[in-house]
Structure 1
């Protein structure tokens, strides 16, 4: 089997978390939110559009348990902007930086990264392109 890329990630969020998800992922991080089908009840999750080929599905559920260090560390999103631009945007919109690494390893090599935590406890690495 020859894998091409990661298509999507599924994350559970609290049943009442859709508005917080829209604010954090859409307004603060600036990713596209595709939730029309969720709002009409045709789809049980919201899509956070990262690129033409990658999304994060956010599933509101009553059975939500926040991630812990024993069952989840982070997922990584490669961003086009330089790390200083990302840092400035996060500061402008009030998103706290959880950690910063000069050159962590990943699938595309080493590049500067900032880590943030979403309203549900998921840690996200925002990594510049190599």
Structure 2
């Protein structure tokens, strides 16, 4: 078996957190929101489109428990552009940067990254230059 890439990540969110997820991932981070089947009641989740080959499934649930240091650390998303451009874009969108690293190791080597938190406590690493 030869893996090619991560297809999707599942994140549980609070049942009343759909608008917050759309606003954070769609408006602030600028990723696509695909929610037609969710809105039509055909699927219990909606997608945050990261690329042509990768999504985050957001699963609204009444049984949501915020992530803790013992059950989740982060998901990493590679983006185009420089670290300076990324930081400026996040700042303009009102997204607080938790920390910045010059060379964290990832799947394709070391490259600058920033870490942010979504409205539900999930940490998202956004890597540039990969």
Structure 2 length normalisation: TM-score? 0.98
Aligned to 1:52: 52
Supply the distance in 1 between the matched residues of 2:95 and 2:3 (Cα, whole angstroms).
Answer: 34
The total of aligned residue pairs comes to 130
Match of 1:27 in 2: 27
Gaps of 5+ in 1: none
Matched with 1:37 is 37
- Corresponding residue for residue 72 of structure 1: 72
RMSD of equivalent CA atoms:
0.7
Q: State the alpha-carbon separation in 2 of the partners of residues 41 and 18 from structure 1.
A: 14
- Corresponding residue number in structure 2 for 1:62: 62
Q: Which residue of 1 aligns with 2:13?
A: 13
State the match for 1:101 in structure 2. Answer: 101
1:42-81: CA deviations, max 9, x gaps?
Answer: 1110100000000000000001000001111101000012
Deviation at 1:129, TM superposition (A): 2.5
For 1:119, the equivalent position in structure 2 comes to 119
Secondary structure at 1:27's aligned position in 2? helix
Shift in Å at residue 33 of structure 1?
0.3
Q: Give structure 1 regions of 4+ aligned residues with deviation exceeding 6 angstroms.
A: none
Write the deviation string for residues 69-113 of structure 1: whole angstroms up to 9, x where unpaired. 111110100001211111011111110000110000011100000
